[in-house]
Homo-oligomer: A and B are copies of this chain.
């Protein structure tokens, strides 16, 4: 059974984590190792739910901060075991997001007297369908474990702060026609031709770029799939355009749906997927102090991330982690060693440990 040595430095610990294979739905070994490594630390209260682990200090501090990371990776792609070339640590999960997990575990083991109470969350199944997501499960089943004033999700952000996130909505917009033999096309009605105004609307759409808490978001409205057709000699009676709307967090899910209903008035619209955005929340005291401490650049987060789950609980949250999203899910996944060290030392300093 693999184990973890939390007394190793944060880079060596990242390497240990990478070398425990943990593809989504196969996280038991890594969760066991994490649980065992934290259990020896009596300043932490441990809870395990499935393959997700929550470790909390209970010091009665005025403020509580959550540090969270997922333990799973996308499938192995001939990119294990890890390799350290002195500048980069290479290997599956190095960037997404075991570098961040290593920072969390180092702080959990060593910050015995932090200036804020801390909740460390290491969870399963982020890389697959939302129904499996360990953080989602905790928010539903044990929200009491996730109370707090500020959350930091240590997802890949190049050690900069990504605040808020845009929502995402997927709808199918459908046209109908009438089948006929294509040699007598005029006896039918072509549903693919009828999709032309949908594409024209998409092509001509000017996405909003609202500024929220000083951050400029950038919406997007795009066809991600189109399909139609019955046979090579049949006038098609249906065409489906699947549209993904990425909406800024000043708009909620219902408003996003209403916007698409207005844009595609007169067509059949089916919502297939929807997740709300998250406001940056940078005006909250905990967020302001964090930003001042880490001295990192602050950018808006365009993609959807699990920070929205904290937002839904009323907890302001940011992405802040050593990985680089450009290397996530790639065969040549890697992480800059200096960024892992930078994140660890910035958080340690802010949370009142020795830097």
User: What mask results when residues 183 to 212 of chain A are scored 1 for a CB within 8 Å of chain B, else 0?
Assistant: 111100010111110011011000100000
Do A226 and B224 touch (CB < 8 A)?
no
A182, closest chain B residue (CB): B244
Do A195 and B199 touch (CB < 8 A)?
yes
Interface assignment of A220: CB less than 8 Å from any CB of chain B: yes
Chain B residues in 8 Å Cβ range of A196: 196, 199-200, 202-203
Interface assignment of A1: CB less than 8 Å from any CB of chain B: no
Do B220 and A231 touch (CB < 8 A)?
no
Do B229 and A190 touch (CB < 8 A)?
no
How far is the CB of A126 from the nearest CB of chain B, in Å? 15
A209, closest chain B residue (CB): B186
How far is the CB of A217 from the nearest CB of chain B, in Å? 10
Q: Chain A interface: which size bin?
A: 35 or more
Q: Oligomeric state, in number of copies?
A: 2
Contacting A166 at CB < 8 Å: which of B183, B207, B221? B183
Interface assignment of A104: CB less than 8 Å from any CB of chain B: no
Contacting A233 at CB < 8 Å: which of B199, B207, B224, B234? B224
User: What mask results when residues 221 to 236 of chain A are scored 1 for a CB within 8 Å of chain B, else 0?
Assistant: 1111111111111111
Residue among A207, A222, A232, A302 having the largest count of chain B Cβ atoms under 10 Å:
A222
Contacting A222 at CB < 8 Å: which of B193, B195, B242, B273? B193
A185, closest chain B residue (CB): B220
Chain B residues in 8 Å Cβ range of A224: 182, 192, 229-236
Chain B residues in 8 Å Cβ range of A203: 190, 193-194, 196
Interface assignment of A246: CB less than 8 Å from any CB of chain B: yes
**What is A's interface to B at a CB cutoff of 8 Å?**
166, 168, 170, 181-186, 190, 192-196, 199-200, 202-203, 207, 218, 220-236, 239, 241-242, 244, 246, 273, 302-304
